[in-house]
Structure 1
Amino acid sequence: MLCPYCGHDDSRVIDSRDAGEGIRRRRECLQCGLRFTTYERIQTTALLVAKRDGRREEFNRDKLMNSLRIACAKRPLPTGAIERVVSDIEGEVQKLGKAEIPSSIIGEMVIQRLKSLDRVAYIRFASVYRDFADLETFKEEVEAMLSAKAGAAQRAPENQPPLFQMDNGLAEHRPRRRGRPPKVRG
C-alpha cells in the first residue's frame, strides 16, 4: 500500500475494524511515520451501466460519490450520510443481479434518497439529472415538492397538542421573558 504522503510502499496495520460493507484499516507508513486509513471491499463482478447515449461503462462507486458530494455541498448533513446513500444504492444495484442496468434506474434511486435526505441537494441533483428544458419545468418540480411537503405538514398527529391556543381564530401569543426576573420591592 503506497503512503499518500510520501509514496513509500511499506506500511503496517495498526487497527482493523468491520466497516459494514468491508474492512477499515488504520495504517502507519514505515518511512515517514504518518498514519492513513484504507478501506477494503469485496470486488463483485463488473456491472455495466447503460448511458442515455448508448455507451456502456462499468459501475463506478466513486463517480456516484462525487456527484452526490457536489449535490450535497455545503448542506448540513450528518457525517457519513453520503457514504450510506452510496452504499445503499450500490447494494440495491447488486441485489438486482443484472449484468447491465440503465443509468436512469440509478438516477431515480439517487433522487428518491436525496428527496428524503435533503431537499436542496435533491433539487441540485434533479436539475442536472433531469436536464430541465426551461425554467418553467424546473419551477413545476419545485412546486410539486413544496406541495407534497405542505400536505405532509398539515397532517399533524391527532394526539399532538397545538402550538398556540386559538381564541376566535387568533393565536394567543405571549412573549417569554428573558433575563432576570423583576426585582421585588418591599
Structure 2
Amino acid sequence: MNLDLIKDIYAQRRRIFGLIFFLALVNLVLAVYVSQWQTPQLATATKEWSARQQAALKGQDRGEAARFRDNQRDLATFEERYIAKKDFAAFLSDLFGIAKANSLSLKGINYQPTQVKNQPLVTYVIEFTLSGRYGGVKGFIADLARYPKLVVLNSISLANTSKTEESVDLKVQLTVYLKKEGA
C-alpha cells in the first residue's frame, strides 16, 4: 500500500476519519480524567466510609454518654411494652376479641402466674385452644404478632379434628409479662 492510496482514501472519507479522531481524543481525555482525578477521589471516599462504618459498629464514633442515653431510651421503650397487672383482664378481653375478629372460638383458658426474681414483674403462662378455619388461625397468629404489648408465643400445636370439615384446633401457649403496681 502506498502513500498516494492512503491520501485518496482520506480525501474521500474525510468526515469518517475526523469522527474517529474526535472519538479517540474524547477517549483519551476521559481516561486521563478517570485515572488522575476520579479514581483517587473514589479511593479516598471509600476509605472514609469504611472507617466510619467500622467506628459505628464498634461504637467509637460517639461518646459513652450518648450510648448510655440511647440505651436508657431503648430500655424505657421496651419497658413500656409490659402490661400493667391491673390491665390483665383487659388483655384477656383483647385476646378474646382477636379470636372473635378471626372467626375463632376459644375453648377454655388456663393461666399460671410466676414471680420474676429481683424484678417487679409477674409472668403469666397462658394456655388455650382455638377452633375455626385455617385462615382464621393464621390471622390470629399474625394479629398476636402485631400486638403492641410484650407477649411471647411459646408454642403452638395445630390439629385437624375432621377429615371432611375445614376446621382446625390450635393449642396455644404464650407468656405475658405484667408490671406490678407502683413499679
State the TM-score, normalizing by the size of structure 2.
Answer: 0.19
**Highest CA radius of gyration, 1 or 2?**
2
Structure 1 or 2: larger helix share?
2
Structure with bigger strand share is: 2
Q: With a CA cutoff of 8 Å and minimum separation of 6, indicate the structure with the bigger relative contact order.
A: 2
